Amino acid sequence: MNAIVAISNKGINAMAIKNTTATRLAVIAKRAGDITIAAAKAMMIELWKEKARNGEVLFAFAKRDGSTRIARGTIKFAGSMINGRGESRENYATCAWMDLEDNMKWKSFRWESLLWVA
């Protein structure tokens, strides 16, 4: 576990997070330029992964062209459908998911582009 401590004129705030979440937070902060947004998105990715592992998740992310994509996906069946070079999408700072609205095709989004998780 890592700890993040924020000190402001309103007091001290701290939270304990997993090492993987801390790594995501650092990457997102570097790309987005804002530690507060990075912390929120890193925590949102944890929620996304938990929901996607257990079934389907409804979420939205910003596409490269600037438009917003609302998607339904899962990673529940990922173990039985591994293919490719065997590298984790985590190495590329992205989340891979199976699109439930597009014939279970594998897709991915960049960590910093996640907008919300329902």
**19 and 42 in contact (C-beta within 8 Å)?**
no
Q: Dump pLDDT digits (tens) for 9-46.
A: 666 666 667 788 888 999 999 998 988 899 999 999 99
d(CA 97, CA 102): 11
Give how many domains the chain has, as a whole number. 1
**Confidence band, pLDDT 50/70/90 cuts, at residue 101:** very high
Task: Supply 79's token pair.
Answer: 């173990």
Query: Do residues 110 and 30 lie in contact, with contact meaning Cβ atoms separated by under 8 Å?
Result: no
- Paired with 70 in beta bridges are 60
| Pairing state between β 68-74 and 11-17 | unpaired
Domain carrying residue 20? 2-117
Better pLDDT: 116 or 11:
116
80-91 residue pLDDT tens: 445 556 667 777
Q: What are the pLDDT digits (tens) for 47-93?
A: 999 999 999 999 999 999 999 999 999 998 765 445 556 667 777 89
